[in-house]
Amino acid sequence: MPSLDDRIARFKEIGVLAISRHDFSKEGLVLSAVVATYNLLDIAKELFNDGFTLLDVSTLEAAEGFLVTYHFDNMSAPCRIAIRVLAPTDKPTVPSLYPIFQGAEWHERESFDFFGVRFIGNPNLVPLLLPDDFSGPPPLRKSSENVAPLSALGLFGTVETAVPSWENIIAPKTKDA
């Protein structure tokens, strides 16, 4: 089990857009990282080899797009990590984690139901919780006046590093955790 600093370093090696530490007692997370879609599978593979398991896939809609959050927990030593991917609002596609974590299939189908995010590589991307003939927009999509920007949600504890484009998104004054 590598230390937190080692893990941050290894994530940076693979490539992250932003990485931040969190106060576990206040946010329930140890570490969160925003990754680009093409790095997601590498990060997941890394976590799988370290004995992490996928807890859930929690998507939310923000002004910048759909933020898909994967929560991971280590099997042996508790260490909750959130990996986030931002998918654009108009054409949200994210690679599926199914090849590594087969349990992701259902979580991704749930996000597909509720937000319309398409997961490329999911073997069975059909409605899971909603009926197959459900018509209408995905039920958890927000109307445009209710959508908040990501910076207003306080998702990014103490930012360790971030690429310039993400520094803009996280906003100049980061919340001190």
∠67-41-9 over CA atoms, to 5°? 85
**Residue 7 vs 84, nearer CB to other proteins:** 84
Find the binding residues for other proteins in span 66-125 (CB under 8 A): 69, 71, 73, 75-78, 80, 82, 100-103, 105-107, 114, 124
Based on the shown chain and the rule CB under 8 A, indicate whether residue 164 belongs to the binding site for other proteins.
Answer: no
Cβ count within 10 A of residue 33: 23
Based on the shown chain and the rule CB under 8 A, indicate whether residue 63 belongs to the binding site for other proteins.
Answer: no
DSSP 85-126: EEE-SSS-EEE--TTT-TTHHHHHHHHHHHH--EEET-TT-S
Which of 42, 89, 121, 130 is close enough to bind other proteins by CB under 8 A?
130
Min CB(121)–other proteins separation in Å: 15
Based on the shown chain and the rule CB under 8 A, indicate whether residue 25 belongs to the binding site for other proteins.
Answer: yes
| Chain centre to alpha carbon of residue 124 | 21
Which of 5, 127, 158, 168 is close enough to bind other proteins by CB under 8 A?
127
Secondary element (H or E) of residue 18: strand 18-21
Q: Output the CA–CA distances (angstroms, integers) from residue 119 to 36, 114, 151, 162, in the order listed.
A: 14, 13, 25, 25
Find the binding residues for other proteins in span 36-55 (CB under 8 A): 48, 51-55
Please report, for the chain, how many H helices and E strands are present, in that order.
5, 8
**Residue 46 vs 114, nearer CB to other proteins:** 114
Residue ranges in contact with other proteins by CB under 8 A: 25-29, 48, 51-56, 58, 60, 69, 71, 73, 75-78, 80, 82, 100-103, 105-107, 114, 124, 126-133, 139-140, 148, 152-155, 175
